[in-house]
């Protein structure tokens, strides 16, 4: 029972305080294992040869200090006890470790190191008959349901090293091992110290100074257990219980304490606001006028940061120079993508969509004989790919002209100037000119922060300007690059040149250069490859001609294809066999 309790305590509750202690036990166990292995290989080995083998033994990094002469001589008592325990429970054909020269040296060193244990040193018992051993094993199997028990040697090893303070406390209290239980008329009661009855007391720590101190005890207002508030039932002695009842109007008082017996006591509670329906923490007796913390407000502040440019006289709104949304800075003059439903245009060309549906004279025909009629029913006529409702409209594009923050609604908005796409304003353009835009002459709109999608770049230039090479590089660099040469007037449906508008601040077309997202370093040597199902080597030949790879090995099952591959790659090692067999051999 005691050994099982020790295992539960340490394996169930691992702690960094005992890490070094268990590491020392692991080193001792490794030293004992290596000693047994060396003696089992050669029982007549001398002690000097044994030390040489011990020093040359390959040791893992965690046991680097375990196998040396100093550690061996320091732990001769540990080795003696374990070897003696092994000899006493050995089989008939097993050798005796303590009768070897190394075992005799261990006994001699133990006598010189500690004279008190000389009288306790004993030789291993003679070999017992097999009948007595079988009878003992039968008795053990009757008394115990399992063989997973601890030996007295391991019990003493754990108790003396890990519970030294506990054993010392028992002796100081006058408790004897043979007089720990006394009859009290209603059973037995164990006299144990506090550390022995509750192992969690050593992990308890105080959080504040004692509020009252007498000669015997200290009283604290707050304490905490580090093991998830575990309390030992034997040591939790209750003298009196004081129960505090919440007042009936606790919602209106927000956790205020009106008790006259405890005027200085403050309770930490959840406070509930009936008007806003918010629950927040309140650490004072006084109810705050406004909630001191709101998750939604803190997210808004962290998500958006703006700088004021100039405040208006009326104080209703403030103009902003730039605003940051999720790490992206938007300034006046930038071009942005907007949601397709945030604003509309004053003029749009109606798209010519073929919605003609073939007429069906007899819709009541047998569907088995005429299965193609199923697709031409009235209920399914508007659900095909030809329907314009299945195609999502592209993003709207606008240019920021003003950013302002409304103090009344505590929101900020954009005033943008609209762009017309080429397909929406000009019938003469084709799909190749879909990157062309026309800026609206007198059309603006106000959108919210949530309508902004991302940034884009619009380049303004005069019509028929000759810089086609730079323009092609600019348009091919990104899908977010657009070109604007003219403005569009929705009232007169006419086009005009836009010379006074500057391009986006995010680009300069004259100094624009295409920069690849990454650069490829030249290969010092081609990559060596192995061709499986090589065939005649057509794919490998193309990679070889590009200079990327060089075929070193190839596997082909068909002999004719292998002969053709050998002609194309004479320096490649070719295997004419099943590919699965070769892969199994490699694995």
User: pLDDT digits over 214-242, tens only?
Assistant: 666 666 655 544 444 444 433 444 444 45
* Helix boundaries (H) for 56-184: 69-74, 76-88, 101-113, 130-143, 152-162, 164-172
**Residue 210 to residues 157, 237, 442, 473, Cα–Cα distance (Å):** 39, 19, 76, 77
**pLDDT per position as a tens digit, 419-449:** 888 777 765 655 456 788 888 888 888 888 8
> Do the beta carbons of residue 420 and residue 438 sit within 8 Å?
yes
CA 15 to mean position of chain CA atoms: 23
As given in the structure block, the two tokens for residue 441 are 């002459």
User: Cβ contacts of residue 139 below 8 Å, gap of 6+?
Assistant: none
Distance (Å, whole) CA 102 – CA 41: 13
Percentage of the chain surpassing pLDDT 90?
0
In this model, does residue 519 exceed pLDDT 70?
Answer: no
Over residues 501-529, mean pLDDT: 56
> Do the beta carbons of residue 526 and residue 549 sit within 8 Å?
yes
Q: What is the pLDDT of residue 265?
A: 44
Confidence of residue 506 (pLDDT cuts 50, 70, 90): low
**Residue 125 to residues 98, 99, 216, 360, Cα–Cα distance (Å):** 11, 11, 55, 109
| The model scores a pTM over 0.75 | no
CATH 3.40.50.150 holds for 527-586: yes
Are both 2-162 and 304-497 of the same fold?
A: no
What number of residues does the chain have?
Answer: 587
Domain coordinates of the chain in residue numbers? 2-162, 164-197, 304-497, 527-586
User: Cβ contacts of residue 326 below 8 Å, gap of 6+?
Assistant: 303
**pLDDT per position as a tens digit, 243-286:** 555 666 655 555 454 544 444 444 445 666 666 666 665 444 44
> Quick one: which of 78, 83, 106, 108 has its CA closest to 95?
83
Grouping H, G, I as helix, E, B as strand and the rest as coil, residue 138 is helix
Mean pLDDT, the chain, integer: 65
C-alpha dihedral (458, 459, 464, 468), degrees to nearest 10: -110
User: Cβ contacts of residue 405 below 8 Å, gap of 6+?
Assistant: 306, 317, 318, 320, 411, 412
Q: Which of 140-154, 209-223, 459-473, 532-546 has the lowest mean pLDDT?
A: 140-154
Distance (Å, whole) CA 508 – CA 135: 99
Fold (CATH) for 304-497:
SH3 type barrels. (2.30.30)
CATH 1.10.10.2230 holds for 2-162: yes
270-280 burial, b at 16+ Cβ within 10 Å, e below that, comes to ebbeeeeeeeb
């Amino acid at each position: 029972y005691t050994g099982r309790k020790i295992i539960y305590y340490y394996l169930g509750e691992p702690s960094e305080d005992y890490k070094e202690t268990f590491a020392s036990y692991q080193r001792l166990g490794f030293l004992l294992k290596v000693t047994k292995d060396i003696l089992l290989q050669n029982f007549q080995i001398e002690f000097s040869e044994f030390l040489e083998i011990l020093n040359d033994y390959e040791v893992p990094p965690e046991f680097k200090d375990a196998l040396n002469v100093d550690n061996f001589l320091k732990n001769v008592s540990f080795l003696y006890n374990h070897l003696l325990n092994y000899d006493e429970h050995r089989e008939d054909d097993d050798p005796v470790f303590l009768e070897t020269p190394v075992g005799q040296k261990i006994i001699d060193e133990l006598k010189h190191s500690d004279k008190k244990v000389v009288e306790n040193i004993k030789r291993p018992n003679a070999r017992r008959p097999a009948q007595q051993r079988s009878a003992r094993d039968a008795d053990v199997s009757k008394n115990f349901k399992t063989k997973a028990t601890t030996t007295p040697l391991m019990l003493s090893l754990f108790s003396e090293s890990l519970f030294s303070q506990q054993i010392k406390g028992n002796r100081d209290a006058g408790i004897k091992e043979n007089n720990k239980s006394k009859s009290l008329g209603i059973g037995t009661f164990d006299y144990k110290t506090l550390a022995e009855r509750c192992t969690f007391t050593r992990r308890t720590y105080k959080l504040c100074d004692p509020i009252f101190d007498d000669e015997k005890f200290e009283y604290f207002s707050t304490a905490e257990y580090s093991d998830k508030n575990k309390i030992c039932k034997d040591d939790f002695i209750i003298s009196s219980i004081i129960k505090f009842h919440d007042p009936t109007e606790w919602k209106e008082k927000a956790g205020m304490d009106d008790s006259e017996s405890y005027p200085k006591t403050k309770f930490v509670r959840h406070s509930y606001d009936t008007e806003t329906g918010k629950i927040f923490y309140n650490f004072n007796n006084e109810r705050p006028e406004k909630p001191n913390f709101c998750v939604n407000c803190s997210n808004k502040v962290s998500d958006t940061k703006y700088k004021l440019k100039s405040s208006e006289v009326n104080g209703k709104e403030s103009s902003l120079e730039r605003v940051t949304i999720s790490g992206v800075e938007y300034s006046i003059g930038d071009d942005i993508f907007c949601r397709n439903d945030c604003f509309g245009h004053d003029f749009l060309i109606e798209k010519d969509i073929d919605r003609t549906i073939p007429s069906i004279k007899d819709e009541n025909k047998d569907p088995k004989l005429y299965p193609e009629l199923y697709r031409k029913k009235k209920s399914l006529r508007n659900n095909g790919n030809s329907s314009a409702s299945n195609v999502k409209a592209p993003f709207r594009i606008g240019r920021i002209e003003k950013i302002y923050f409304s103090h009344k609604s505590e929101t900020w908005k954009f005033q943008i100037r609209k762009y017309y796409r080429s397909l929406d304003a000009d019938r003469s353009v084709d799909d190749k000119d879909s990157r062309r835009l026309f800026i609206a002459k007198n059309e603006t709109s106000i959108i919210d922060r949530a309508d902004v999608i991302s940034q884009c770049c619009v380049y303004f230039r005069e019509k028929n300007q000759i810089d086609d090479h730079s323009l092609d590089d600019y348009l091919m660099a990104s899908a977010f690059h657009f070109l604007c040469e003219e403005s569009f007037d929705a009232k007169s449906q006419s086009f005009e040149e836009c010379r006074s508008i500057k391009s986006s601040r995010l680009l300069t077309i004259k100094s624009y250069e295409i920069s690849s997202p990454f650069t490829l370093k030249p290969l010092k040597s081609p990559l060596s490859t192995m061709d499986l199902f090589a065939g005649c080597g057509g794919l490998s030949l193309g990679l070889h001609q590009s200079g990327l790879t060089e075929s070193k090995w190839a596997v082909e099952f068909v002999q004719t294809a292998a002969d053709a591959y050998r002609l194309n790659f004479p320096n490649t090692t070719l295997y004419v066999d099943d590919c699965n067999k070769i892969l199994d051999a490699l694995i």
